């Protein structure tokens, strides 16, 4: 290394050091985790205030390469910061990571982005070493750029956050989960995420599930509320496992809903279905029947599954994002009653699904009746 010094008096002096450009640099012993390719630094005394700084370039941390800057303060505090493009901890590949370590606190502070099929999350991490090896991580997460939020205004994660502590090994993978708080923007309405949970394994998002309360109002009955549970589903290598929405026990009485019970071949995405129903009393003379009317809601925000090749040589990859949000009606009645129900989205002014249809009744002791059904 090259060393230079300057001296004015006891209050103003400096010592600087730099790697010899003609040499091979410094290679750390195998017992450390630092492989330093270039190093420079200085110790300065300006008007009696002593400070020092050390810059090490090409410091390997995990699977990423970082530049490390270390400083020493007169109060005895040693602080080091590093930044780089990737860092792997417990199998999680953290992008654009920044790390700060200080002797003033037992915890290392990190900020990083974590990219999944659902989009990018931002992590604020506090890390402390464990006596048996590995780390204890306090992770506060937020949604930096979730892919589902940019697909359509019909479905967007409006706010998102979680806070959890997890132990991870020094090498290898770890699985962990956390409770989530946030809100969802869907069809212009904002819904609170209830019972929300997110889980990761190594570098993969394995679970993101939450419930929202969806309301539906007709002109004939009081407002109905149904709990719609939405889950993140991911394609597993092998034979595609399509998602098929279902609507009630009598789903053969179908409608104009976007899904209409059609299977979806997906790569990954959010899916959910729910039913809400009420009893309608039909009276024609001595012909009295209780008929259950139902409305099925469905949500699908997903990456299309792209198939390349055929048979055993077929491979699958993620395609464009698509959004399907719809409803369909059905009714459950006994013999001598049949019909159809159709649903359309009435964006203005209710932003709700409006369903109508026809019911055909053929009592054994009377003629046939045709009943129009509106605002179901």
For the segment 349-357, the average pLDDT, to the nearest whole number, is 67
Judge whether residue 187 has pLDDT over 80.
no
Please report the pLDDT score of residue 228 as a whole number.
87
Residues 6+ apart with CB under 8 A from 77: 102, 103, 104
Please report the pLDDT score of residue 195 as a whole number.
95
Judge whether residue 370 has pLDDT over 80.
no
Please report the pLDDT score of residue 249 as a whole number.
44
d(CA 117, CA 94): 14
d(CA 277, CA 9): 89
d(CA 157, CA 190): 10
| Contact status, residue 351 vs residue 342, Cβ threshold 8 Å | no
| Contact status, residue 51 vs residue 75, Cβ threshold 8 Å | no
Least confident span in 64-73, 113-122, 229-238: 64-73
Closest residue by Cα to residue 210 from 139, 143, 280, 283: 143
| Contact status, residue 79 vs residue 105, Cβ threshold 8 Å | no
Q: Which residue has the higher pLDDT, 141 or 275?
A: 141
Per-residue pLDDT band for 108 (boundaries 50, 70, 90) equals confident
Please report the pLDDT score of residue 255 as a whole number.
39
Closest residue by Cα to residue 100 from 111, 113, 92: 111
Please report the pLDDT score of residue 349 as a whole number.
57
Please report the pLDDT score of residue 251 as a whole number.
39
Bridge partners, residue 118, by sequence: none
Least confident span in 22-31, 70-79, 118-127, 358-367: 22-31
Whether the CA torsion 176, 179, 180, 186 is positive or negative: it is positive
Please report the pLDDT score of residue 247 as a whole number.
56
* Residue 339 region by backbone torsions, left for phi larger than 0, else alpha for psi between -120 and 50, else beta: left
Percent of the chain with pLDDT over 70: 68
Per-residue pLDDT band for 168 (boundaries 50, 70, 90) equals confident
Least confident span in 104-113, 198-207, 286-295, 303-312: 286-295
* pLDDT tens, position by position, 280-332: 676 766 667 777 777 777 788 888 888 888 877 888 888 888 887 777 766 66
| Contact status, residue 300 vs residue 245, Cβ threshold 8 Å | yes
Least confident span in 107-121, 263-277, 299-313, 357-371: 357-371
Per-residue pLDDT band for 74 (boundaries 50, 70, 90) equals low
For the segment 340-356, the average pLDDT, to the nearest whole number, is 65
Chain Cα centroid distance, residue 174: 18
* pTM confidence score: 0.71
Chain Cα centroid distance, residue 147: 9
Residues 6+ apart with CB under 8 A from 281: 288, 289, 290, 291
**Mean residue pLDDT across the chain:** 75
Per-residue pLDDT band for 96 (boundaries 50, 70, 90) equals confident
* Burial degree of 139 (CB within 10 A; 0-12, 13-18, 19+): buried
- Backbone torsions φ then ψ of 313, nearest 5 degrees: -95, 5
* Residue that is written with structure tokens 């970082």 in the block: 66
Judge whether residue 211 has pLDDT over 90.
yes
d(CA 113, CA 54): 27
At 290 the three-state DSSP class reads strand
* Residue that is written with structure tokens 């209710």 in the block: 350
Within a 10 A sphere around the Cβ of 275, how many other Cβ atoms? 16
Per-residue pLDDT band for 344 (boundaries 50, 70, 90) equals low
Least confident span in 101-105, 125-129, 137-141, 170-174: 101-105
| Contact status, residue 178 vs residue 161, Cβ threshold 8 Å | no
Least confident span in 24-33, 146-155, 180-189, 363-372: 24-33
Least confident span in 79-83, 230-234, 254-258, 274-278: 254-258
Per-residue pLDDT band for 143 (boundaries 50, 70, 90) equals confident
Judge whether residue 250 has pLDDT over 60.
no
Least confident span in 130-134, 246-250, 290-294: 246-250
Judge whether residue 75 has pLDDT over 50.
yes
Judge whether residue 43 has pLDDT over 90.
no
d(CA 128, CA 165): 11
Within a 10 A sphere around the Cβ of 270, how many other Cβ atoms? 22
At 23 the three-state DSSP class reads coil
Kindly tell me the number of DSSP H helices and DSSP E strands found in the chain: 0, 23
Residues 6+ apart with CB under 8 A from 358: 339, 340, 370, 371, 372, 373
d(CA 224, CA 155): 22
Judge whether residue 149 has pLDDT over 60.
yes
Please report the pLDDT score of residue 107 as a whole number.
81
């Amino acid at each position: 290394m090259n060393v230079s010094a300057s001296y004015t008096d006891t209050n103003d002096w400096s010592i600087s050091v730099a790697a010899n450009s003609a040499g091979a640099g410094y290679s750390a012993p195998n017992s450390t985790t630092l492989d330093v390719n270039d190093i420079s630094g200085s110790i300065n005394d300006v008007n009696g205030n002593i400070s020092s700084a050390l810059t090490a370039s090409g410091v390997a941390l995990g699977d990423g390469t970082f530049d490390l800057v270390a400083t020493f303060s007169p109060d005895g505090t040693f602080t080091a910061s590093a930044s780089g493009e990737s860092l792997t901890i417990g199998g999680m590949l953290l992008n654009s990571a920044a790390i700060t370590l200080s002797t003033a606190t037992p915890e290392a502070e990190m900020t990083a982005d974590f990219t999944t099929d659902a989009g990018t999350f931002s992590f604020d991490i506090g890390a402390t070493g464990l006596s048996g090896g590995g780390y204890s991580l306090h992770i506060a997460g937020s949604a930096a750029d979730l892919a589902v939020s940019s697909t359509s205004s019909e479905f967007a994660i409006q706010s998102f956050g979680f806070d959890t502590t997890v132990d991870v090994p020094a090498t290898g993978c770890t699985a962990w989960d956390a409770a989530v708080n946030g809100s969802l923007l869907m069809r212009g309405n904002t819904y609170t995420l209830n019972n929300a949970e997110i889980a990761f394994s190594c570098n993969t998002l394995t679970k993101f599930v939450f419930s929202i309360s969806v309301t539906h109002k007709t002109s004939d009955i009081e407002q109905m509320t149904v709990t719609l549970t939405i889950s993140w589903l991911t394609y597993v290598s092998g034979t595609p496992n399509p998602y098929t929405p279902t609507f009630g026990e009598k789903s053969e009485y179908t409608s104009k809903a976007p899904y209409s019970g059609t299977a979806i071949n997906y790569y990954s995405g959010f899916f959910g279905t729910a039913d809400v129903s009420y009893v309608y009393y039909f009276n024609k003379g001595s012909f009295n029947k209780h008929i259950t009317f139902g409305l099925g809601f469905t949500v699908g925000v997903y990456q299309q599954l792209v198939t390349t090749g055929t048979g055993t040589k077929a491979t699958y990859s993620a395609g464009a994002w698509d959004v399907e949000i719809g409803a369909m009606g059905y009714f459950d009645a006994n013999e001598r009653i049949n019909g159809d129900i159709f649903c359309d989205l009435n964006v203005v002014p209710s932003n709700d699904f409006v369903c109508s249809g026809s019911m055909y009744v053929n009592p054994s002791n009377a003629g046939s009746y045709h009943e129009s059904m509106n605002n179901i």
